[in-house]
């Protein structure tokens, strides 16, 4: 079975550019999570969806960040405009109700 699929695996771009990270959850899973991992702050939740509806976006840093889940099999995390401090590894995870989360391989984002 395919796991959580994230793309791209690496992204390098200049500050000010728009960045879009993509995630395909495991088929049938009804919850999707976006996490960010940095040396300074560790792993922190940005936003999570249940049945495609955003439930908690309190971790989204600021208006430059937005996330969508147009259907059960796809989600995007967008940063516009990007800044060097956004450099991090971004993980997507999915789960069934009351089941552990399964993580994708992450996207390493570098903003120059």
Partner 1 sequence: AQTVTQSQPEMSVQEAETVTLSCTYDTSESDYYLFWYKQPPSRQMILVIRQEAYKQQNATENRFSVNFQKAAKSFSLKISDSQLGDAAMYFCAFSPLAGEKLTFGTGTRLTIIP
Contacts to partner 1 by CB under 8 A: 30-31, 33, 35, 42-45, 48, 56, 89, 91, 93, 95-103, 105-106, 108
Q: How far is the CB of 45 from partner 1 (least distance, A)?
A: 5
* Rounded Cα distance, 50 and 99, in Å: 13
- DSSP secondary structure letter of residue 40: T
The total number of residues shown for the chain amounts to 112
CB of 16 to partner 1, least distance (A): 27
Minimum separation from the CB atom of position 95 to partner 1 (A)? 5
Nearest to partner 1 of 79, 90 (CB atom): 90
């Amino acid at each position: 079975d395919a796991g959580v699929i994230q793309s791209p695996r690496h992204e390098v771009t200049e500050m000010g550019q728009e960045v879009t990270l993509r995630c395909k959850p495991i088929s049938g899973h009804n919850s999707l999570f976006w996490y960010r991992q940095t040396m300074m702050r560790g792993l922190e939740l940005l936003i999570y969806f249940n049945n495609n509806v955003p439930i908690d976006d309190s971790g989204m840093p600021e208006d430059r960040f937005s996330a969508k889940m147009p259907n059960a099999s796809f989600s995007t995390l967008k940063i516009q405009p990007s800044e060097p401090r956004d450099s991090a590894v971004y993980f997507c995870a999915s789960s069934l109700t009351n089941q552990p989360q399964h993580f994708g391989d992450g996207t390493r984002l570098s903003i120059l």
